[in-house]
Structure 1
Amino acid sequence: LALVIIAPLLGRISLKFQTYEYFLLGVFGLTIISSLTSKSLLQGIASASLGLMLAAVGADPLSGVARYTFGIAALDGGIGMLPAMIGLFVISEIFAQISEADSEYVFESGAMDSMKISLKEILSHWKNLLRSSLIGIVIGILPGAGGTIANLFAYDQAKKYSKYPEEFGTGIPDGIIAPESANNAVTGGAFVPMLTLGIPGNSVTAILMAGLMLHGLTPGPGLFRDNIGVVYSIFASLFVANIVMVILFYAFLIRFFKWALRVPKKILLPVVVLMAVAGTYNIRYSFNDLWVLAIFSGMGFVFRRTGFPISPMILGLILGPIMEGALRTGMMRSGGSIMPFFTRPWSLGLIALTIISVCFSGVYKRFEERKKRALLS
Structure 2
Amino acid sequence: MLGLDTLLALLLGVAYGLLKGVLFPGIPATLSLVLVLPILIFLSPAEACAAVIGLTTTAIFTGDAGSVMVRVPGTPASAAYTEEIHEVGRTRTPAFALGLSTTAATLGGLISILFLVMGSLGLAQVAKLFSSVENTWVVVMGIISGIFGAPSLLKGVLGFTFGMLLGTVGVDPTFGIPRFTFNNPYLLGGIEFIVALVALFGVSEVFHTLNAFASQAARGERSQSQAGYSLRRLLRAFFLEAPLTVWRERWLFLRSSLIGVFIGLMPGAGSDTAAWISANFARLRRNHKPEQVAVAGAAGSDSTIAGDWIPTLALGIPGDTMTTVVLGMFMALGITPGPALFKEQLNLVWQIYLAFFLSAVVFRPVVGFLAVMLVSRITQIPRYLLLGAVTSLCIVGAYAVNRSADDLFLLPILGLFGLLLRRGGFTLGPIVLGLVLGPLLERNVAMSLIKANGDLTAFFDRPLAAALALLDVALVVSLLYLRRREAAVKPQAGLVGGYEE
The TM-score with structure 1 as length reference comes to 0.77
1:105–1:261 CA contact under 8 A, matched in 2: no
Give the whole-Å Cα distance in 2 for the aligned partners of 1:240 and 1:179: 23
Matches within 5 A, 1:268-283: 268-283=386-401
1:158–1:174 CA contact under 8 A, matched in 2: no
1:46 matches 2:158:
yes
Give the whole-Å Cα distance in 2 for the aligned partners of 1:111 and 1:297: 37
Give the whole-Å Cα distance in 1 for the aligned partners of 2:378 and 2:192: 30
Question: Counterpart in 1 of 2:139?
Answer: 26
1:62 matches 2:174:
yes
Q: How has the CA–CA distance of structure 1 residues 282 and 338 changed in structure 2, closer, same or farther, with 3 Å as cutoff?
A: same
Q: How has the CA–CA distance of structure 1 residues 339 and 272 changed in structure 2, closer, same or farther, with 3 Å as cutoff?
A: same
Give the whole-Å Cα distance in 1 for the aligned partners of 2:157 and 2:186: 28
SS at match of 1:335: coil
SS at match of 1:50: helix
1:69–1:76 CA contact under 8 A, matched in 2: yes
Query: How far is 1:130 from its partner?
Result: 5.7
Question: Counterpart in 1 of 2:242?
Answer: 121
Task: Pick the aligned partner of 1:299 from 397, 412, 417.
Answer: 417
Q: Where does the alignment leave 5 or more consecutive residues of structure 1 unmatched? A: 164-171
Matches within 5 A, 1:348-363: 348-363=466-481
Q: How has the CA–CA distance of structure 1 residues 373 and 292 changed in structure 2, closer, same or farther, with 3 Å as cutoff?
A: closer
Question: Counterpart in 1 of 2:148?
Answer: 35
1:8 matches 2:121:
yes
Give the whole-Å Cα distance in 1 for the aligned partners of 2:116 and 2:347: 15
Matches within 5 A, 1:1-377: 1-39=114-152, 41-100=153-212, 101-102=215-216, 108-110=224-226, 118-119=238-239, 120-121=241-242, 124=246, 137-138=261-262, 140-142=264-266, 145=268, 150-154=270-274, 156-157=276-277, 184-199=302-317, 201-208=323-330, 211=333, 213=335, 219-225=337-343, 228=346, 230-243=348-361, 245-246=363-364, 249-250=367-368, 262-370=380-488
Query: How far is 1:318 from its partner?
Result: 0.8
Query: How far is 1:152 from its partner?
Result: 4.0
Give the whole-Å Cα distance in 1 for the aligned partners of 2:119 and 2:257: 15
Bigger mean CA offset, 20-29 vs 277-286: 277-286
Query: How far is 1:338 from its partner?
Result: 1.8
Deviations 1:147-202 (A, max 9, x none): xx735435555675676xxxxxxxx9899878876675454234323432244643
2:171–2:188 CA contact under 8 A, matched in 1: yes
Give the whole-Å Cα distance in 2 for the aligned partners of 1:261 and 1:179: 25
Q: How has the CA–CA distance of structure 1 residues 259 and 158 changed in structure 2, closer, same or farther, with 3 Å as cutoff?
A: farther
SS at match of 1:308: coil
Task: Count matched residues.
Answer: 359
Bigger mean CA offset, 338-347 vs 123-132: 123-132
Give the whole-Å Cα distance in 1 for the aligned partners of 2:394 and 2:377: 20
Give the whole-Å Cα distance in 2 for the aligned partners of 1:85 and 1:260: 31
Bigger mean CA offset, 300-309 vs 128-137: 128-137
Query: How far is 1:36 from its partner?
Result: 2.8
2:140–2:472 CA contact under 8 A, matched in 1: yes
User: 2:475 is aligned with what amino acid?
Assistant: S
2:156–2:427 CA contact under 8 A, matched in 1: yes
Give the whole-Å Cα distance in 2 for the aligned partners of 1:127 and 1:90: 39
Give the whole-Å Cα distance in 1 for the aligned partners of 2:373 and 2:352: 30
Give the whole-Å Cα distance in 2 for the aligned partners of 1:257 and 1:287: 40
CA RMSD of aligned residues (A): 4.0
Q: How has the CA–CA distance of structure 1 residues 300 and 255 changed in structure 2, closer, same or farther, with 3 Å as cutoff?
A: farther
The TM-score with structure 2 as length reference comes to 0.60
Give the whole-Å Cα distance in 2 for the aligned partners of 1:328 and 1:310: 27
1:151–1:180 CA contact under 8 A, matched in 2: no
Query: How far is 1:306 from its partner?
Result: 1.8
Q: Where does the alignment leave 5 or more consecutive residues of structure 2 unmatched? A: 1-113, 284-289, 494-501
Q: How has the CA–CA distance of structure 1 residues 135 and 98 changed in structure 2, closer, same or farther, with 3 Å as cutoff?
A: farther
SS at match of 2:270: helix
1:128–1:158 CA contact under 8 A, matched in 2: no
Query: How far is 1:137 from its partner?
Result: 4.4
SS at match of 1:110: coil
Percent identity between matched residues is 28
Question: Counterpart in 2 of 1:167?
Answer: none
